[in-house]
Amino acid sequence: MRLLIIGSFLLFQVQLFAQELNCQVSIITDAKLEVTSVEQEIFQQLEQTIYELMNNTQWTKDKFTVEERINCNLQLQISEIPSSGVYSGSLQIQSSRPVFNSSYNTTLFNFQDDDLLFNYSRNAILVYAPNQFRDNLTSVLAFYAYFILGMDYDSFSLKGGTKYFNEAQQIVSNAQTSGFPGWKSNEKNRQNRYWLVDNALHELFSPLRECNYEYHRNGLDKLYDDMDAGRNGVYTGISKLLKVTATRPNSVNVLNFIQAKSNELKNLYETAEVKEKNEIVNVLKRVDPTNSSKYQEILE
């Protein structure tokens, strides 16, 4: 009976607490890429291996219930197989968080990494070890796990994700001499992992992190109780981005944030007063002038 009670307690604990991420993984291949049945089998195994790394690794010391896990998606697109066991392509990363008192989930992070190059062999296991560079794929995945955590924690408390951005930056540092793309400041692609986390932690981008908090915690999370107060929080958050674009126009972090919110903002301001619509559209056009026509739709 005692063993039964202990077993039931342990089962309860497993059900009560979970790892931080609820990550869905998919692998696709370019239509022009000829994939053998063996390679297809390897991709299926790789998909499961990535799933296990993302969902079974304990990335923080915090306890998450199953319902509190961060929903995210990874889509790995294989475009080339330069040699046996070597793959290149891109990785699309998306994460979201729930809005208080609603069934709605808002996108926090939506980014495409075009610098993906990695080695993988049949039956290989991906295991993340802090402060070590074991293989490029594990480091890339761990980097985005921590970046997702940083964005999520920042949306709930002001700069609450700092330690996770620091972890992501440490992964960048460990990968500097690996020879794989995406980890250095002087690469042709200025929208790589190095700049993504360097910007996140740079003091010049502090208003963006303030925006993340203001937009979600004092904006979207307030909509249920007070629509006007919620929209005011959203506007206050977005306005903070003007400080960043004044010194760093077209930065990947700001554009990534604002473009992930464009459709959401259109829906949010659909019933707003004309004055409110004009105010938010003017700010959006200054932050992201390239997509001015899209933001103009808010006024229609």
Assess if residue 283 is contained within a domain: yes
Q: Is the pLDDT reported for residue 88 higher than 60?
A: yes
Contact assessment for residue 240 and residue 214, using Cβ atoms and an 8 Å cutoff: yes
Residue 237 belongs to some domain of the structure = yes
pLDDT at residue 245 tops 60: yes
173-205 per-position pLDDT tens digit: 999 999 999 999 999 988 999 999 999 999 999
Q: 75, exposed or middle or buried, with CB in 10 Å at 0-12, 13-18, 19+?
A: middle
Res 16: pLDDT: 54
In a domain, 98, yes or no: no
pTM confidence score: 0.93
**49-77 mean pLDDT:** 96
Please give the share of the chain, as a percent, with pLDDT higher than 70: 94
Question: Would you say 233 and 226 are in contact if contact means Cβ atoms under 8 Å apart?
Answer: no
Q: Tally the domains of the chain.
A: 1
* Residue 129 clears pLDDT 50, i.e. is over it: yes
Residue 240 lies in a domain: yes
pLDDT at 218 over 80: yes
Task: Evaluate whether residue 87 is within a structural domain.
Answer: no
Domain span at 289: 202-300
Rounded average pLDDT over 49-57: 97
- 243 in a domain, yes or no? yes
Q: Is the pLDDT of residue 9 over 50?
A: no
pLDDT level of residue 15 (50, 70, 90 thresholds): very low
Q: What is the pLDDT of residue 289?
A: 94
* pLDDT above 90 (res 227): yes
Mean pLDDT, residues 39-65 taken together:
96
295 part of a folded domain: yes
Token output for 149: 């955590």
Question: Which residues does 120 contact at the CB level (< 8 Å), separation at least 6?
Answer: 42, 46, 85, 87, 137
User: For the stretch 220-246, what's the b/e string if a residue is b when 16 or more beta carbons lie within 10 angstroms of its beta carbon?
Assistant: bbbbeeeeeebbbbbbebbbbbebbbe
Q: Is residue 61 part of a domain?
A: no
pLDDT tens-digit readout, 142-162: 999 999 999 999 999 999 999
